[in-house]
Amino acid sequence: MSKDLFDLKGKIALITGAVHGLGMAMAKGLGNAGATIVVNNYSEDRLEDAVQEYKASGLNAYGYVFDVTDEKAVQEAVANIEEEVGPIDILINNAGIIKRTPIIDMEVSDFNAVIQVDLVAPFIVSKTVVKGMIERGGGKIINICSMMSELGRDSVSAYAAAKGGLKMLTRNMATEWAKYNIQTNGIGPGYFATSQTAPIRVNGHPFNEFIIGRTPAGKWGDPEDLQGAAIFLSSKASDFVNGHVLYVDGGILATIGKPSNEV
């Protein structure tokens, strides 16, 4: 096996919304594999701090402000990135939001907002970036899906609808763009230990107990657990992998749950 199979030196990767959390963890993984990192945020807030954190880790990183749901803004930003940094070889559609509201109480405007960021934005950014990939004869696109691409859960209807749609959009992108040597795949994270989940990961919290009990690995994931999947799907190692969603979930989707002690 070639030692360069997972080498990303010379590659430029755009990771949307990677100013914290799982997106930042994946971006750092790509950066440590040799890629130049480009991250975005919809405002200056947190963007500069994130870029400085990447640089403090010894990574080559750039930050751009643009709204991933605004097609004109995306087109302008991609043109600027490719002129100022270089051609985008890897795109990770990571930006996302969630609104936890029961269906019966959810405003249509809130439902639409989630769909716009979590489903329409990957469509907009991908169709913009892929044009350069087609011209150059290849590229990698990774859509950050979810276990909610497969399962339902109380109060996350818009998020689950968007992520289920993103799974199918991933397959359709693969269908249309594989002939151009472009691999389009997804990553479906499970439940991870991040600052956002800290309040519900305390001992004795019902949801903490539920996740630990529901996950065959018996624990929450570490954000760095996503790096291998991101590097694999960004590298030569995945050149014949297309339209696949790689679930990094500690085995949750593999099981109906832990059985009782009784047979």
Residue with tokens 């919809």: 42
* Residue of 42, 35, 41 lying closest to 13 (CA atoms): 35
Hey, what amino acid is at 154?
D
Q: How far is CA 175 from the centre of its chain?
A: 20
- Are 250 and 221 within 8 A, CB to CB? yes
d(CA 177, CA 193): 35
Phi-psi region of 174 (alpha: psi -120 to 50; beta: other; left: phi over 0): alpha
The helix-helix angle for 121-136 and 157-177 (nearest 10°) equals: 20
* Residue of 78, 93, 71 lying closest to 16 (CA atoms): 93
Catalytic entry in 42, 54, 64, 159: 159
User: Is 159 an annotated catalytic residue?
Assistant: yes
Task: Just list the catalytic residues.
Answer: 159
